[in-house]
A and B are shown apart, each in its own frame.
Chain A
Amino acid sequence: MHTVTITICGILLTLLAAFIQPVQAETLPDKITIESLKDLYGPVTFGHAQHIARERDCAVCHHHTNGAPASQEKCLRCHRGGHEVKSMGCKSCHEKQPFSVEQVNGKFKNNLQFHQDKPGLKASYHLSCIGCHKQKGAGPVACVDCHVLTSSGEAFYRAGKNAPDPNKAGKTGHH
């Protein structure tokens, strides 16, 4: 009797293990270096492992793309089972140029209602990071918490060595 129970349990566990795909720990990056704005800012290091440890649920950032059900209720109507995609990086869905002629013209061509308002790559990073950090009251929210200006960044913002001369202030414009 005992052996039968143990065998059944064993079979069930094997089945369960087959259904719940084990996280491929060796393929998950611990740290991700984001350099898409490298002309203005130094690279930003994202603690992927640190966020997995805190968040547990991949769907918070990866929506429905890792095979797990989506975390947001409105997505669940279509993505209850999730569907795993080949590349889970943000940039495989979120465009670098969200306002290109093709994107702008094609915006309402598809009838995927919830995908029409998909932000571009840069905005996805910032909306996810800052949105979550603000909501949880933890993590960096100010620009300088993540970004170090490069010399061309300083020229763009007229900051650092490109800062305006305070003695000349008030010479331009009127208020």
Chain B
Amino acid sequence: MSGISRRKFLCATVVGGAMTTLGSVCGKGGKAWASGSFEGYPEGMGVLVDLTRCIGCRTCEAACNKEQKLPEPDQPFNDQSVFNTKRRTDESHYTVVNKYDAGQGPVYRKIQCNHCNEPGCLTSCFVNAYTKTKEGAVVYNSKVCVGCRTCMVACPFNIPAFKYSSATDPVIKKCIFCHETRLKNGLPPACVEACPQAVLTFGYRKDLVKLGHERIRNNAGRYVDQIYGETEVGGTGWMYLSGVPFEQVGFDTTLGNEPIISNVKDFLSTVPMVLAIWPALFSGIHLLATKGKDHGSGHGEDDHVKNEKEEPRP
């Protein structure tokens, strides 16, 4: 009995392995793995965030909540007590402002999805739920999402958030650059429009890189001579200027300039091979290794059946 079921199991494994391989080959054609040298769409938009201008008014948070029709917050958006803790983005906050003490006075830092040129979330998603639009937004399709949350691990900025309140209907929540309501119509995102201090400058990413360097040069001593996001993880749509070293205000300065795909593409290319070869290979080895024992087990089986028949006897 058990011999037959094992044979069935092995057979199913091989068939399953072959099917997975087929699936992954087809999937690969659709996904077209990036080479790691993609510098973003030429007409991609971005935002330059100038931390030296932010006063922590949280108007961007209020504007985001309204535009994206997010749930009611725990505290009013003009409540400054939220700065007592370092917050992160979650299912009801696509952007948050945190306060840092960096020597001369407080520094406020707005965080949201940085809309990478080569997003780690998109790279890691095996159902292609993420898309980098030609306008520069990284958008997400909940209809195909299976809720594996790999994107949350893959994101170097810890941005995608899982909607734990609906785990059976998995949804990842993150900033989408107001793509549907604004960006694709040529409008800036709601937070940019709401910002009173021009902390946020919206424009073509390539223009913003120029603008950022001009601003650094024209205001000697005001800024650290770096635009965070110009080259980090292959470049991001949202970039930052700061008056204090970036690591002092919560930025990860150890990410390097290689996009996430460059670190994982060697591994990812072996996955289909593993799925195709390993089941057949190990099935073969297993069959060979247990060939002699098969008769024995058949014998044992008979014994077992005999024993079973004998067992009811008192």
Spell out A's residues near B (CB within 8 Å).
74, 98-99, 101, 104, 107-108, 113-114, 116-117, 119-120, 122-123, 125-127, 130, 141, 143-144, 149, 156-160, 162-164, 168-170, 172-175
Contacts and interface: CB of A to CB of B under 8 A. Distances in A.
Interface in B206-220: 207, 210-211, 214-215, 218
Interface size class of B (residues with CB under 8 A): 35 or more
A144 B55 CA distance: 13
Nearest to A173: B90
B88 interface: yes
A116 B188 CA distance: 18
Given A123-B195, A175-B88, A159 B218 contact: no
Contacts of B188: 99, 104
Given A99-B192, A123-B197, A164 B74 contact: yes
B193 interface: yes
Q: Which of B63, B197, B207, B215 has the most CB of A within 10 A?
A: B197
Contacts of A158: 62, 65, 72-73, 76-77
A104 B203 contact: yes
Nearest 10 A/B pairs, CB to CB: A123-B198, A99-B188, A159-B76, A173-B90, A169-B74, A119-B198, A101-B186, A157-B77, A126-B196, A99-B202
B164 interface: yes
A123 B66 CA distance: 21
B78 A143 contact: yes
Interface in B24-47: none
B198 A164 contact: no
A120 to B, nearest CB: 7
A108 B210 contact: yes
B90 A127 contact: no
B225 interface: no
A127 B87 CA distance: 26
B77 A159 contact: yes
Interface string B173-190: 000000000000011100
B26 to A, nearest CB: 36
B220 to A, nearest CB: 10
A172 B92 contact: yes
A175 B193 contact: no
A14 to B, nearest CB: 42
Given A104-B204, A174-B90, A116 B53 contact: no
Contacts of B165: 172
Contacts of B53: 127
Contacts of B211: 107, 116-117
Contacts of A130: 55, 197
B263 interface: no
A116 B214 contact: yes
Contacts of A173: 71, 74, 90-93
B75 interface: yes
